[in-house]
Amino acid sequence: MSDDPICALCGRPIPAHARQSLHHLTPKLRGGKGGPTVLLHQICHNEIHATLTETELARDHATIAALQAHPRLAKFIAWVQKRPPDFHSKTPGARRGPRRRS
């Protein structure tokens, strides 16, 4: 049994040498500074931010369960769970479309 921490999004172990980061459940720019964080594989963290805007994260996806229920993230999780715990690849450009400026 490994003592490696578990990624909150995909449920795979995070080996010490794997790329990893902390994710603020509520984005810092949307009131989450000092709020709860979770440890994720870097690839999982990248996918969250490639899929959802800061506003969407704050408004509708501020829990792990909500993130896991998002259709695009659920598909990603099913795919990445078949990869080794230290797997990393470049996340393609943002899939949520171009940002709109007000």
What pTM does this model have?
0.85
Q: What is the 3-state secondary structure (H, E, C) of 74-86?
A: HHHHHHHCCCCCC
Residue 101: per-residue pLDDT: 45
Q: What are 31-84's pLDDT values in tens digits?
A: 878 889 999 999 999 999 999 999 999 999 999 999 999 999 999 999 999 999
- Chain position carrying tokens 């993230």: 73
27 near 52, Cβ under 8 Å? Answer: no
The larger pLDDT score, comparing residue 53 to residue 29, is at 53
